[in-house]
Amino acid sequence: MIANYFKRRTIVLFLAVLAVTFNNEVSAQSSKKQHYKVAVCDWMILKRQKLGSFELASQIKADGIELDMGGLGSRETFDSKLADPVEVKKFKDKSKEFNVGISSIAMSGFYGQSFAKRETVKKMVQDCIDAMKTMNVKVAYLPLGNQCDLKKFPELRPVIIERLRWAGKQVAKVGGVIAVETTLDAKAEKEFLKEIDCKRIKSSFNFSNAIENGKDIASELEILGKKNIAQIHASNTDGFWIQNDKAIDLPKIKSTLDKMKWKGWLIVERSRDTTDVYNVKRNYGANVAYLKKIFQN
């Protein structure tokens, strides 16, 4: 009887392990089949280039993070850990541990710094490209920011284009692209990309920019076109969660992207409830859940 008991228990344990393995494989296959994945900006969830970003993203149920290069300020380049092999291994291990990917490597320092005027831009961009290669990430995010707003400072356009052409040649060496965010509407941004004339420089489309320009998000996506969009920042400025924002018709946006046959990362930057703006899990959990409900159902 004892032998039969242990035999039955062994069979039960074997079947349990088999079931878990099967479910994990199905989950992994399902994830790979997803045309849309949802990420959060690590700096916006208050985990800028910190290992804890992966666990927090997992708790929020995001598929990935947009991993920042770190602060810039008056430094020669970003305050980044991603050139240190020991630190890189830690980031990769955490990504694997929590099954949270990396949508892109961000140069958020350019929100407040001038891509057109900083003398060490080439070093900054090259450091980011090196990090892309090290982390096996194919997209770098470059916001042109308030000092390189092409609507306010059109005189900066030639130097920005020149620097982006150079950056495009460099990122091509790692098989990646640089996703640039501007304040231009879709028609003007398409012309801007055409002038750069480099398939490695694409748009990081931002819902909030379309709304700020008084444009319909879905229509702007259609104008810009599938081949010009590297990633999407799928949120508005702070005020309401995405599901409560009348300026964002998410089912219509999904339908448009489906028709365009675009696929890629949808990244939550803001759309925080201003009555509880620093409650990271509440705000980003709600936005990630709604994006997944619409895009991954």
Which H, E and C letters describe 100-139, residue by residue?
Answer: CEEEEEECHHHHCCCCCCCCCHHHHHHHHHHHHHHHCCCE
Instruction: Pick the more confident residue, 21 or 156.
Output: 156
Do β-strands 139-143 and 201-206 pair in parallel, antiparallel, or remain unpaired? Answer: unpaired
Q: CA distances (Å), 92 to each of 42, 65, 88, 136, in order? A: 15, 12, 6, 10
Contact 283, 273 (CB under 8 A): yes
Residue 156 corresponds to which tokens in the numbers above?
Answer: 């900066």
CB-based contacts of 92: which residues, under 8 Å, 6+ apart?
A: 135
Does some domain include residue 6?
no
Q: Is 86 part of any domain?
A: yes
- Report yes or no on 17 lying in a domain: no
Residue 282 in any domain: the answer is: yes
* Tens-place pLDDT, residues 139-183: 999 999 999 999 999 999 999 999 999 999 999 999 999 999 999
Could you read off the pLDDT of 80-117 as tens digits, one per residue?
A: 999 999 999 999 999 999 999 999 999 999 999 999 99
Mean pLDDT of the 65-76 span = 96
| CATH code for the domain of 249 | 3.20.20.150
Query: Is 233 inside a domain boundary?
Result: yes
Q: pLDDT: is 83 or 26 the higher one?
A: 83
Residue 214 has pLDDT above 50, yes or no: yes
Q: Is 2 a domain residue?
A: no
Strand pairing of 36-41 and 264-268?
Answer: parallel
- Domain extent for 160: 38-295
What pLDDT does residue 29 have? 43
pLDDT for residue 256: 98
Q: Report yes or no: 106 and 71 within 8 Å, Cβ to Cβ.
A: no
Q: What is the pLDDT of residue 27?
A: 43
How far is 135 from 88, CA to CA, in rounded Å? 7
Tell me how long the chain is: 297
- Residue 21 domain flag: no
| Any domain includes 228 | yes
Percentage of the residues of the chain whose pLDDT score is greater than 70: 89
Please report which confidence band the pLDDT of residue 33 belongs to, taking 50, 70 and 90 as the band edges: confident
Averaged pLDDT for residues 224-253: 98
Annotate 181-227 with DSSP letters as a single string.
E-SS-HHHHHHHHHHHT-TTEEEEEEHHHHHHTT--HHHHHHHH-GG
Q: Looking at the chain, which runs of residues are DSSP E strands?
A: 36-41, 64-68, 101-106, 139-143, 177-181, 201-206, 229-233, 264-268
pTM metric for this prediction: 0.89
> Residue 139 in contact with residue 176, Cβ under 8 Å?
yes
Instruction: Indicate if the pLDDT at residue 25 is higher than 60.
Output: no
Supply the Cα-derived Rg of the chain in whole angstroms.
21
Query: CA angle, corner 142, sides to 209 and 64, nearest 5?
Result: 85
Report yes or no: 116 and 126 within 8 Å, Cβ to Cβ.
no
Instruction: Find the Cα–Cα–Cα–Cα dihedral 205, 210, 212, 216, rounded to 10°.
Output: -160
pLDDT band at 297 (very low <50, low <70, confident <90, very high): confident
Our count of domains for the chain comes to 1
**Three-state DSSP class for residue 62:** coil
